[in-house]
Amino acid sequence: MYLADSLRLAASGVPEGSEVCATPMVAYTRMRAREILETCELFAFTRSALAVAADLRVDTPERLEAIAEAVLRRPRRVFLEAPHLDRRDMLSTLRGFVQTDLPAGRYDPARVGLDIDCKGDGRARISSIWSFGRASISRRERRLLEGLGRTRLERDAIGELLRLGTTVCSIDVDLSRSDGLSLEAFNARLAAGDPEARTFCRVAGEMLARGPRGPGATERDRIFEGWRAYRLNQVSTMAIDNRGREGILHLAAASGRGIDAVMTDAERDLDGEVVYALAMLAALEIEGREIRRKERAAVSGRGEGRRVSRRDIDTDRLAVLSLDISDRAMMREIEKGAAAGRGDPGKAVGGKRVRHPVRGHLFRARNGKIVYRKPHWRGGRIARTITRVR
């Protein structure tokens, strides 16, 4: 089930005045679902479309800001959704992106979506919403589902609403705030004991320690990531949606953890989302036939003479994105994700390289447009295999 369908079911199927929405955060989530459906173009990314986004190179602030300038040039509002584990797996190969872990006690959602409100001229506001599996519903919430007199539609809608989650925080992107500080200048500030530079390097070192490089990360790596974090934090700042303040206060009181702890969780829910958003927007910007858009027609399921169910909720127009490639062997390589080691050169056989896949390249061209070069095969020799005959 697409996240857009979950949002529609939660937004339209729960009766007005339902006790479910008496909880401020649930009411806020329902409001956000309605807002997304009313204002956003809806896109769902498949694994192959995520692989295209992963072929972006954002390993320096200059490259990242150039992509941001291209994809945030014009005003529009889009919702980009994908299976959470697919997105994490495929975009882990994004060149120049340090992976972050979920906070302790948090669980992976089933699907996650980004609401990206592009203001134009390099400015945008990014927020997220996600859905969990059925096991995430508590006993108290299950009792709400079993209330007397509920129709099948109401039960499904309430269940979907309770499985949704969102954050009251968003990321404000504004490229005009960048000072263009070079790595050399950042190094000079660090050597002079600048507290801001030292803080960014310390945090970067902690992230590297949790990442795949782990103990192998060097001091040079730490400084480089600190510089990138400094530049990224210049152009992207955290903002709070005032409409969700009551929900934050309720969560803080109910959990007994305090507002600061709840706000820290809300901010961490957006870790890495700027880079995800820019990469997926770049894939969306490709001009040509590399990305296939299969639009689902908007239809109404309403009918007479049958029980009320989730089929009575209208279906929104949703464009499902996938890589348009006819080479099935290449498609299998692409969809393997991070585990496939895409782009690794083949070992030489008799002086020639074994035929192997080379990953695609998503980039901003000199004319300012986003261009994609499809993945391809390289090497003419096929590795020999030996079959033992007993």
Q: Which two tokens stand for residue 358?
A: 């080379």
Total-model pTM: 0.86
User: Sign (positive/negative) of CA torsion 29, 35, 38, 42?
Assistant: negative
308 pLDDT higher than 60:
no
pLDDT at 110: 93
The answer to whether 100 and 272 have CB atoms below 8 angstroms apart is: yes
Mean pLDDT, rounded, for 139-163: 74
Instruction: Enumerate helices (H) and strands (E) in the chain, giving the number of each.
Output: 14, 15
DSSP letters spanning 160-176: HHHHEEE-SEEEEEEGG
Q: pLDDT digit string (tens) for 42-73?
A: 999 999 999 999 999 888 999 999 999 999 99
Give the pLDDT confidence score for residue 387 in this predicted structure: 40
E-assigned strand segments in the chain: 41-45, 76-83, 111-120, 123-131, 164-166, 169-174, 236-240, 291-296, 318-323, 348-349, 352-353, 356-358, 361-364, 370-373, 376-378
pLDDT tens-digit readout, 109-133: 999 999 999 999 999 999 999 999 8
The type of residue at 182 is S
> Which of 71-75, 157-161, 324-328, 344-348 is predicted most confidently?
71-75
Closest CA to 165 of 236, 88, 102, 71: 102
In our burial notation (b when 16+ CB lie closer than 10 A, e otherwise), range 105-133 reads eeeebbbbbbbbbbbeebbbbbbbbbbbe
Q: Residue 34: in which H helix or E strand, if any?
A: helix 24-39
CA distances from 294 to 320, 322, 331 (A): 5, 8, 18
DSSP single-letter state for residue 295: E
Residue 284 pLDDT greater than 90, yes or no: yes
pLDDT over 80 (residue 350): no
pLDDT for res 385: 42
Mean pLDDT value across residues 292-312: 61
